A and B are shown apart, each in its own frame.
Chain A
């Protein structure tokens, strides 16, 4: 499906492509349908539908100077660019742009690990560096640092953090944008800017003090469209000496409220890594009567759920705890967690888990030695990139809606009920929102839940249902003060629209900035729901 950039005819598009070839070499500009296949969103629920967004071309620069040249050429022709790092943002649009006809700026060739310091604990990388690349670099050089990577780990630290992606280790590293420190950006006029201490010539602390002096604009480049990030620093965890796990279970549904408060305390005190919540009662969802109870309009009562748990001989909730540090510290922190929780919640139980020195062996990474059923995916938990999660992805992938909610048991119960009721017209939703749904503790200081229904390229009816359910989910959540944290281009306007305090003051502020910096929308117009004047007509 050949498309042209907005407001550009075929002749000028051909001239534009010729200029790109002059800037980066003919081998690194693509515009045929075959070559653009990799730049489609293969997880799209609007696959082959009118709503699907298509690129008109793709270009892969080798260095910052070529990025600048491309931006200036695009500026002259008013062609929108859609920068990607490795293009693995699956579930959130993959490499496909917001605006059909955009040219994908594929930064995969800029793949140098510029620096890893295992005494000051940071890395500086280019956008084409994947988590696997960074892991390989650290491993090959025997450096004593641990990365925090998403699962799967084929994305890039820069791309993932700019999407506010997450990992699974300690709180200060799981929030990937929060753990970033210093960036280099090509602005929409082609100029190169560095943030924080990078703005001070001769500074040696670019990756250690992110603010520098004055306002720090780095947040504008996350889920934004104010520039193209070409270098970025990340804080790394010193390789911990030891790793330990433990499981806490609580008997009653309402015990979850206290359990969450205790775990919040442990996490905010930096005593634990990612806490993985679950409900053993989820195993009963295959039973029709229990499914009906767990998805009942208005939600089940505590007594009904407790009776079901008691009948099945199962605890209502559990949490997998993870400890990093010196062996003695992990042992004492686990002992403290047990004492604290078991003393406060009647009937709570603790089971000692696995423990071993780091780095882990392959067998330990496979997590076959945990003495209980665990929700921990060990590779991610120990900062080892993996592709194994793809075994559980069905159909042609999935979309993703991850509403943010407060870290409290009551908020979890309310989201279970409200989302289950609000999406009742979509039978698939009950699997995601029911009385056994546990929160995700990926971000450091907030919970999320997950709605990620699968799509199939050859089943447009299913895809249409998923698409409608996604839009409804955004709306239902917003009615309760819950917002999505990350969205595919086809949902970004819907999500941005829900962040509407004071007549959309935030969006209007972003638009003012966009109009001042990039009025023609050269960099990813529409990304994050931010449209420049040219596209707001």
Chain B
């Protein structure tokens, strides 16, 4: 299982990265292996915050998933954070189920209008014994 402590850390850190917060970048916890950034919603994230690999896409997750995530998700481990539109999260969450993973943290973020219709920050982590590390 993912620990509650990790969940709280990831849930707080991932959205803070959107604004390029130095404090958030310094606080990226160990175990978050990469951060998916949907350029439509979060253009401001700098490269490799806190040493975490950033994977960008423009709303169509096909290439990202086919070239990068699918091969990684077939192996144990790999905790993925993300700031994406709901459509992209729906696709990635659905695909993650096939590989023993779940969205373990999910947080709505304010949209440009200030209303809660913006992107979602999330963490997808391995939960099934076949893909959990150790």
A residues lining the B interface (CB < 8 Å): 27, 34, 38, 42, 86, 88, 108, 132, 136, 152, 154, 379, 385-388, 390-391, 393, 397
Contacts and interface: CB of A to CB of B under 8 A. Distances in A.
A88 B87 CA distance: 15
B97 A390 contact: no
B129 A386 contact: no
A390 B88 contact: yes
A48 B91 CA distance: 21
A152 B65 CA distance: 13
Contact of A390 (B66, B90, B130): B90
Secondary structure call for the B interface: helix
Given A27-B128, A38-B97, A391 B62 contact: no
A379 B62 CA distance: 11
A305 B5 CA distance: 64
Contacts of B109: none
Nearest to A365: B62
B98 A86 contact: yes
A387 B98 contact: no
A387 B65 contact: yes
A136 B66 contact: yes
B66 A88 contact: no
Interface of B: 59-62, 65-66, 70, 87-88, 90-91, 94-95, 97-98, 102, 128-130
Contacts of B88: 390
A154 B60 CA distance: 13
B62 A386 contact: yes
B3 to A, nearest CB: 16
Q: Main SS of the interface on chain A? A: loop
Contact of A387 (B61, B129, B130): B61
B111 to A, nearest CB: 15
Given A136-B66, A387-B65, A88 B94 contact: yes
A112 to B, nearest CB: 14
Contact of B62 (A38, A42, A136, A387): A387
15 contacts: A86-B98, A88-B94, A132-B66, A152-B91, A154-B95, A379-B62, A385-B66, A386-B62, A387-B62, A390-B60, A390-B87, A390-B91, A393-B87, A393-B90, A397-B90
B7 to A, nearest CB: 14
Given A38-B97, A88-B94, A391 B66 contact: no
Contacts of B66: 132, 136, 385
Contacts of B95: 154
B96 to A, nearest CB: 9
A386 B60 contact: yes
Contacts of A132: 66, 70
A34 B97 CA distance: 12
B129 A27 contact: yes
A132 B65 CA distance: 10
B87 A27 contact: no
A86 B70 CA distance: 15
B59 A391 contact: yes
A494 B129 CA distance: 42
Contacts of A387: 60-62, 65, 91
Contacts of B102: 34
A391 B87 contact: yes
Given A27-B129, A27-B130, A132-B70, A388 B94 contact: no
Nearest to A392: B87
Nearest to A389: B60
Contact of A391 (B60, B97, B129): B60
B60 A388 contact: yes
B62 A388 contact: yes
Residue with the greatest number of chain A CB neighbours at <10 A, chosen from B60, B62, B128: B62
Contacts of A386: 60, 62
6 closest A-B pairs by CB = A388-B60, A38-B97, A387-B62, A27-B129, A391-B59, A386-B62
Contacts of B97: 38
B62 to A, nearest CB: 4
Contacts of B70: 132
Contacts of A152: 91
Nearest to B88: A390
Nearest to B130: A27
B6 to A, nearest CB: 17
A44 to B, nearest CB: 14
A495 B87 CA distance: 30
B93 to A, nearest CB: 9
Given A27-B129, A386-B62, A390-B88, 7 more contacts: A27-B130, A42-B94, A152-B91, A385-B66, A386-B60, A390-B87, A390-B90
A468 B95 CA distance: 31
A386 B91 CA distance: 11
Contacts of B94: 38, 42, 88, 154
A390 B130 CA distance: 29
Nearest to A397: B90
Nearest to B129: A27
A386 B59 CA distance: 12
Of listed B60, B61, B98, residue having the most chain A CB within 10 A: B98
Contacts of A388: 60, 62
B85 to A, nearest CB: 8
Contacts of A390: 60-61, 87-88, 90-91
A364 B60 CA distance: 16
A385 B60 CA distance: 12
Nearest to A388: B60
